[in-house]
Amino acid sequence: MAADHAAILMYHRFGEDSIPSTNIRLEQFDAHIAELTSGGYSVLPLPEIMARMRKGENLPDRTVALTADDAYLSAFTKGWPRMKKAGLPFTLFVATEPVESKLKGYLTWDQIRQMKREGVTIGAHSHRHPSLPALSPEAAKEDLETSLRIFKRELGEKPDLFAYPFGEWDAPSLALVKSLGHSAAFGQHSGIAHAKHDMFWLPRFPMNETFGSVERLRQAVNALPLAVTEIEPADVLIRLGQTPNPPVLRFTVADDVERLHQMVCYTGQGRAITPSRLGDNRFEATPPDAFSPPRDRISCTVPTRETGRFRWFGIQFTVQK
């Protein structure tokens, strides 16, 4: 079955059990690999997925991409060896300052070069790993340009793909990332990437100890896109005391989506939202409580006729004091 979408999984640490919020236990990750190599999925390199989406070329149904952020050492010592043995392609988004500073627990440039030689895609993840919306335009530009200069020096090229630190973006930072020549950028909100989505805030399913069960993995990689347009508000930055909080999310769903009356939405904290129907395909979702800094999310799903498959749309809001 041909498709125009993919589930992108996001990891950070592998087997660093003392930091569960950003870690996947090795037994969990081994179970993920077993599921992904069971024959029901097509795990493809992220650059290939993005190129095929941009060209309008079909992807296999249940296409999956594997990514990890921040360049922790365990990606090299524990994560990548398992993926390489299983023949699974991988993208590593590197924040350059910890590597430059030779911080304990992070990769070295020699290790990153080795991973690149072995087929790992290296993506950009800023220099100091700041919240880009919290910086002035000049400071944000300086940070990202510093990162790209270091990549050019150490790897001989600038990464094509970018991942926002903390998954946080706003309209100016999105425009900045685009202006620096990246072809796509990724957040940390759940949802399915698809050809009609804005290529500069694509979703990824976060995987950690709490959300790392095989059941959770299956739910993510079997999902389908909930394609929406006319999203309001136009910017996802909430300034406390200046912009509405909680945000009132409005969107229009594609005409071919069935079972819209069964749509359910949740905040990132798991609070249920009852979406209101403004028209045949126009919806409004208002969280029950104000969002707290630094960020929160809204996810909406619609069941399909296929058992266990949901259409999924997500968006993240950045909240500043």
- The model's pLDDT over 249-261, given as tens digits with 9 standing for 90+, comes to 999 999 999 999 9
Least confident of 1-10, 32-41, 90-99: 1-10
Contact between 87 and 161 (Cβ < 8 Å) = no
**What is the torsion angle, in degrees rounded to the nearest 10, for the CA atoms of residue 39, residue 42, residue 44 and residue 49?**
180
CA–CA distance, 150 with 110 (Å, rounded to integer) = 14
| No. of helices (H) and no. of strands (E), the chain | 9, 23
In this prediction, residues 33-59 reach a mean pLDDT of: 97
CA–CA distance, 113 with 96 (Å, rounded to integer) = 13
Structure tokens at 136: 């002035």
CA distances from 248 to 240, 254, 287 (A): 15, 20, 8
Helix (H) or strand (E) holding 218: helix 214-221
pLDDT of the residue at 1 = 64
| Mean per-residue pLDDT over the chain, rounded | 97
**What is the torsion angle, in degrees rounded to the nearest 10, for the CA atoms of residue 132, residue 75, residue 215 and residue 226?**
40
Angle CA(217)–CA(311)–CA(45) in degrees, nearest 5?
55
Q: How far is CA 315 from the centre of its chain?
A: 10
In this prediction, residues 144-168 reach a mean pLDDT of: 98
CA–CA distance, 318 with 189 (Å, rounded to integer) = 12
pLDDT class for 166, splitting at 50, 70, 90?
very high
Peptide bond into 287 cis (omega under 30): no
Check: pTM over 0.85? Answer yes or no.
Answer: yes
Q: Is the pLDDT of residue 90 over 90?
A: yes
β-bridge partners, 273: 265
pLDDT of the residue at 3 = 83
In this prediction, residues 180-193 reach a mean pLDDT of: 98
pLDDT of the residue at 307 = 87
Angle CA(96)–CA(316)–CA(107) in degrees, nearest 5?
20
Q: Is the pLDDT of residue 100 over 70?
A: yes
Instruction: Please name which of 166, 90, 98 lies closest in space to residue 122, comparing C-alpha atoms.
Output: 90
In this prediction, residues 74-83 reach a mean pLDDT of: 98
Percent of the chain with pLDDT over 70: 100
pLDDT, one tens digit per residue, over 194-244 is 999 999 999 999 999 999 999 999 999 999 999 999 999 999 999 999 999
CA–CA distance, 174 with 240 (Å, rounded to integer) = 21
Q: What is the DSSP string of 138-191?
A: HHHHHHHHHHHHHHHHHHSS--SEEE-GGG---HHHHHHHHHTT-SEEE-SS--
Instruction: Please name which of 224, 191, 213 lies closest in space to residue 306, comparing C-alpha atoms.
Output: 224
Contact between 92 and 75 (Cβ < 8 Å) = yes
pLDDT of the residue at 246 = 96
CA–CA distance, 257 with 195 (Å, rounded to integer) = 16
The residues, any chain, with a CB within 8 Å of residue 310's CB and separated by 6 or more, are 219, 223, 224, 301, 302, 303, 304
pLDDT class for 308, splitting at 50, 70, 90?
confident
Instruction: Please name which of 314, 310, 309, 251 lies closest in space to residue 10, comparing C-alpha atoms.
Output: 314
In this prediction, residues 61-74 reach a mean pLDDT of: 98
Distance between start and end Cα atoms, the chain: 47
Q: Is the pLDDT of residue 25 over 90?
A: yes
Structure tokens at 161: 């793909």
